[in-house]
């Protein structure tokens, strides 16, 4: 089992880090160690769950860089970090749990991540009803029904994951950003910081439920520098004293750092609580911070200003006019249009990263330099 994680983390060890590199698919050694991948999260890894669940498609501006049409429901102009990771280990893109019509099968995994989701339970004001607890419940239902179907008809094993796939699969997590960012709309910094232990208790409960279902291999992303998102800067950075030297909102980044610190502490304890398990913690915050602070070095022209927006520099963002939409803002009709070359931008729409930035992050993840593994497995 030890080679499973080392294979994944070293696939691109000798590859120069650059978003101008050729496509990932087919360029690197293939690993078949993890037969399936099951993902939980928010818009950072949503491959169509929210759009399928609520019955909508993103604006036409989305997904054009790679998918050409917005039919997959990603909140990006192209591929997400999870897409690049699947390419690197020669796995198909993850099909959303609620996707009713698709050419994809579920044999190699399933994606339960839904945009706008939180670790905490959704409430009446939540845009997404698919909080982490619901996603875990969806997985449990999915697994139960899949195994029943295969028992009734073994031929379905060609399209659905077997018991072995569930047991040996990789369970990925990228969630928590919306818990922290959303809390600032009604709480002070101290109150947000005090909320972190409660959020992580709920996260650990989800891990416990998955472990009871046989999950043993866990892959956990921490959260990024929230204060460097144009949406946050626009709404919480009007007072320039709230910004750091790079133009990011200090309070949001401070909260993200505390969340990550406590998440890392939990990560170190989990293997002791769950025998025969392996956890990998991925420092997304450091990768994204490096990209934002040194964007010019990596070939990007803009770190905070968004590609698909309106208003021009310094942010090109209006929270009243979403990417690809036309709406009235401050008495004026405005249209948020995509930029000419998204590969020069880190941020796509004020909240989400561009495909080029996602590719950069994925390449850094795959070097293994930003990951740490803790295990209780008998090797």
Is 252 annotated in the active site? no
Q: Which of 42, 349, 364, 371 is catalytic?
A: 349
Q: Could you tell me which residues come within 8 angstroms of residue 77 by beta carbon, excluding any fewer than 6 positions away? A: 61, 62, 63, 64, 65, 66, 307, 308, 338, 342, 348, 354, 355
From the list 42, 43, 99, 318, the catalytic residue is: 43
Which residue shows structure tokens 């399209």?
159
Residue in 196, 110, 125 with CA at minimum distance from that of residue 160: 110
Compute the chain's Rg from CA coordinates: 20
DSSP letter at 225 equals -
Start-to-end Cα distance in the chain: 7
Note if 277 is an active site residue.
Answer: no
Beta-bridge mates of residue 328 = 333
342 is catalytic: no
In degrees, rounded to 5, the angle at the alpha carbon of residue 352 between the alpha carbons of residues 215 and 368 is 50
Q: Which residues contact 129 (CB under 8 A, 6 or more apart)?
A: 53, 122
Nearest to 257 by CA among 288, 236, 226, 234: 226
Q: What is the rounded CA–CA span in Å between residue 261 and residue 258?
A: 5
**Residues that are catalytic:** 43, 349, 352
């Amino acid at each position: 089992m030890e080679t499973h994680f080392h294979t994944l983390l070293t696939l691109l060890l000798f590859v120069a880090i650059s978003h101008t590199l050729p496509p990932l698919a087919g360029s690197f050694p293939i690993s078949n160690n993890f037969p399936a991948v099951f993902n939980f999260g928010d818009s950072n890894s949503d491959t169509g769950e929210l759009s399928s669940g609520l019955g909508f498609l993103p604006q036409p501006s989305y997904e054009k860089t790679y998918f050409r049409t917005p039919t997959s429901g990603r909140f990006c102009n192209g591929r997400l970090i999870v897409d690049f990771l699947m390419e690197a280990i020669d796995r198909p893109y993850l099909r959303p749990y609620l996707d009713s019509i698709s050419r994809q099968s579920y044999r190699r995994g399933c994606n339960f991540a839904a945009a706008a989701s939180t670790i905490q339970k959704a409430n009446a004001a939540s845009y997404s009803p698919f909080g982490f607890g619901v996603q875990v419940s969806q997985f449990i239902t999915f697994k139960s029904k899949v195994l029943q179907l295969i028992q009734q008809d073994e031929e379905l094993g060609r399209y659905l994951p077997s018991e072995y796939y569930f047991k040996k699969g990789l369970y990925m997590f990228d969630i928590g950003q919306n818990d922290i960012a959303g809390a600032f709309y009604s709480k002070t910094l101290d109150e947000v910081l005090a909320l972190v232990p409660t959020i992580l208790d709920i996260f650990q409960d989800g891990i416990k439920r998955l472990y009871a279902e046989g999950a043993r291999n866990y892959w956990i992303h921490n959260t990024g520098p929230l204060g460097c998102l144009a949406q946050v800067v626009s709404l919480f950075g009007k007072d320039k004293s709230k910004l750091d030297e790079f133009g990011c909102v200090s309070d949001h980044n401070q909260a993200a750092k505390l969340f990550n610190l406590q998440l890392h502490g939990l990560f170190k304890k989990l293997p002791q609580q769950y025998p025969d398990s392996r956890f990998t913690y991925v420092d997304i915050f450091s990768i994204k911070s490096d990209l934002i602070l040194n964007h010019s070095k990596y070939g990007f022209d803009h770190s905070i200003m968004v590609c698909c927006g309106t208003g021009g520099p310094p942010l090109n963002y209006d929270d009243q006019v979403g990417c690809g939409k036309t709406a009235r803002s401050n008495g004026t009709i405005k249209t948020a249009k995509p930029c000419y070359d998204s590969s020069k931008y880190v941020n796509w729409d004020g909240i989400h990263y561009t495909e080029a930035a996602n590719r950069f992050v994925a390449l850094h993840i795959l070097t293994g330099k930003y990951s740490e593994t803790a295990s209780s497995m008998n090797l």
